[in-house]
Amino acid sequence: MDRISARIQDLTRELVALRRDFHAHPELGFQEYRTAECIERYLQDLGLTTKRMARTGVVALLQESRPGPVLMLRADIDALPITEENSLDYCSQNKGVMHACGHDAHTAMLLVAARILVEEKNDLAGSIKFVFQPNEEIAGARPMIEEGVLEDPQVDAVLGLHVWTPLESGKAAVSPGPVMGGLDVFRVIVRGQGGHTGSPHQAVDPVMAAASLIQSVQIIQTREIDQFQPTIIMFGKLSGGTRSNIIPDQVELEGSIRFLYPGGPDSQEQPTERFKRIARSVCETHRCGCDIEITHENIPLVNDPAMAELARKTAQEIFGSEKDITTLQTFASEDFSEFSSRVPGAFIFLGAGNAAKGTTVAHHNPRFDIDEEVLPSGVALLVRGAFNFCSQFKSLNIL
Ligand SMILES: [Zn+2]
Ligand SMILES: [Zn+2]
């Protein structure tokens, strides 16, 4: 066994203890005060200078001892408003809040990776920026970017990972191109003119317009966008009217648009622009007014091909066999996309599902848990990924 693997093994007890401590003390987005203090203390003990960003985010820089590029390693640190239903002795002590997405594991893995990289810094030709990001669940990456997390020194590339219970323990998944979905949320108010259902010609019926709108926007996937570019438009809430014989004044529709291909909020190729066009014209056809509110929650997470290849080879070194490194795409969304849309990046899924241990429950479920045995592999991905990136940077064909 080489020195890094041996060191990770030595630190496994500390790694698990950190994860359990964060698990027992989950905090919601932008309220991760205790978590941020634990991170700061740990990094400062390693001799690193820490900086707060976006309120509860923590950033530290491992300065190069030998010249080289700057790699950002990112972990998210927030928990969810869920009441934990597991019976573990390190269950959430913060009622109604739970680490049900595995960000406790991400935080612990990046801390231990930082310890090893600090110890090994003389062999590292480059700088590492450790970024502990708050509020991933509701887009906390943007405020960090606005506060300059990618600058001073300028970040050349970013690497991140997510424990993933739908994927078996002992496997990792990394692929080039889009891997997680873009997500826009909409609210549409269809305005008509109320009246008696016995004389619809004297009213303007927003119910018929809404029904037509729900159907018409489905042509975006079936007739407007390439069939191989997946798009899902779903309506999750419909409301309007008071009783059976009254035509209501207005109907409200809420839903989400998810897509798995590049395309920012400003792109005409993006389904949301098409949604707005069709919604407006359908309402006009029905003589209705229409107010559309769009919230751009996440842009798609797109892996840089060269970075994804570097991550895949790194995973292969760690997991040994090629068959344990798979590819994966999901419509779930992640604001790591904000970083990887600005600098070349790769996001790796670390399998953490183990049926025998009961850790195959979906993310965001009150019974979510991970197979802790995969944590050392996550540390190895970050540490070896950093070494591989720095040593191969000059020959890396990143976009
Ligand atoms: Zn989540
Ligand atoms: Zn997550």
Q: Residues 97-136: pLDDT tens digits? A: 999 999 999 999 999 999 999 999 999 999 999 999 999 9
The mean pLDDT of 204-226, rounded to a whole number, is 96
pLDDT (0 to 100) of residue 227: 87
Q: Are residues 289 and 192 part of one domain?
A: yes
Q: Are residues 365 and 288 part of one domain?
A: no
Smallest-distance ligand from the CA of 106: 2
260 C-alpha vs ligand 1 centroid, how far in Å?
17
pLDDT (0 to 100) of residue 270: 81
Q: Are residues 377 and 323 part of one domain?
A: yes
pLDDT (0 to 100) of residue 322: 82
Q: Are residues 172 and 150 part of one domain?
A: yes
Q: Residues 144-191: pLDDT tens digits? A: 999 999 999 999 999 999 999 999 999 999 999 999 999 999 999 999
Last residue of a domain, one of 298, 313, 332: 298
- pLDDT of 264 strictly over 60: no
- pLDDT of 240 strictly over 70: yes
Last residue of a domain, one of 280, 298, 316: 298
pLDDT (0 to 100) of residue 65: 85
Write the single-letter amino acid at 304.
D
How many domains does the chain contain in total? 2
pLDDT (0 to 100) of residue 201: 97
For residue 109, what are the domain limits?
3-180+300-395
Secondary structure (3-state) at 40: helix
Q: What CATH number is associated with residue 232?
A: 3.30.70.360
78 C-alpha vs ligand 2 centroid, how far in Å?
9
319 C-alpha vs ligand 2 centroid, how far in Å?
23
Q: What CATH number is associated with residue 94?
A: 3.40.630.10
Give pTM, 2 decimals. Answer: 0.92
Last residue of a domain, one of 230, 263, 298: 298
pLDDT (0 to 100) of residue 321: 82
333 C-alpha vs ligand 2 centroid, how far in Å?
9
Q: Are residues 339 and 282 part of one domain?
A: no
Q: Are residues 159 and 25 part of one domain?
A: yes
Burial class (CB in 10 A: 0-12, 13-18, 19+), 240: middle
Does residue 395 contact residue 129 with C-beta atoms inside 8 Å?
Answer: no
Provide the pLDDT confidence category of residue 267 given band limits of 50, 70 and 90. low
Q: Are residues 40 and 58 part of one domain?
A: yes
- pLDDT of 139 strictly over 90: no
Q: Are residues 279 and 234 part of one domain?
A: yes
138 C-alpha vs ligand 2 centroid, how far in Å?
10
Q: Are residues 283 and 304 part of one domain?
A: no
Q: Are residues 233 and 116 part of one domain?
A: no
Residues above pLDDT 90, as percent of the chain: 92
Distance (Å, whole) CA 258 – CA 370: 27
Smallest-distance ligand from the CA of 77: 2
234 C-alpha vs ligand 2 centroid, how far in Å?
22
Whole-number average pLDDT of the chain: 95
Q: Are residues 129 and 21 part of one domain?
A: yes
pLDDT (0 to 100) of residue 398: 77
pLDDT (0 to 100) of residue 191: 98
Q: Are residues 56 and 35 part of one domain?
A: yes
